[in-house]
Amino acid sequence: MRKPLLYLICFLLAVFMIGSAIAADKVIVKQITGDVVTIDVAVKTLTVRGKKAEVVITADDKTIVKMNKEKKTLSDIKVGDKVTLKYAEIEGNRIARSIEIKTATTEKKGAEPAKPAKSAPKSGY
């Protein structure tokens, strides 16, 4: 009776440890859209103010920066620019994967232009 119980406990412990190791390797990618508050090109960090909070992000050599589908660099980003940023949280650090710099035309993409108001019909009175 003791041996089968011991085998069962060892098996469950091994499954738990393998599951924990696999879960630890997963990288969670998040996205934030907001305004650039600070940027330091020398150390490759920028702070973005989103709807809920300000987030400090670090860029690396793999970070892709684009504006209107055109490749840009971190130095093209200015304070006050609106960006959409995808980043991974790795060991407590937020590492940028992609940064899309928004312009006035990309922000309004898909929006219909305003139509002029219809004038009231003229009456013969």
- Rg of the chain over Cα atoms, rounded to whole angstroms, equals 26
The candidate with the shortest Cα–Cα distance to 59, out of 84, 41, 83, 71, is 41
**Cβ neighbours of residue 86 under 8 Å, at least 6 residues apart?**
29, 30, 31, 96, 97, 98, 99
Domains of the chain and any CATH numbers? 28-107 (2.40.50.320)
The candidate with the shortest Cα–Cα distance to 107, out of 56, 50, 34, is 34
For residue 40 the two structure tokens come to 């330091």
The candidate with the shortest Cα–Cα distance to 83, out of 33, 39, 46, is 33
Please tell me the number of Cα atoms within 13 Å of 113 on its side-chain side. Answer: 3
Q: Could you tell me if 58 and 45 are in contact, meaning their C-beta atoms sit under 8 angstroms apart? A: yes
Going residue by residue through the chain, which has 125 residues, state the pLDDT in tens, using 9 for 90 and above: 677 777 778 777 777 777 655 555 567 889 999 999 999 999 999 999 999 989 999 999 999 999 998 999 999 999 999 999 999 988 888 999 999 999 765 555 555 555 555 555 666 65
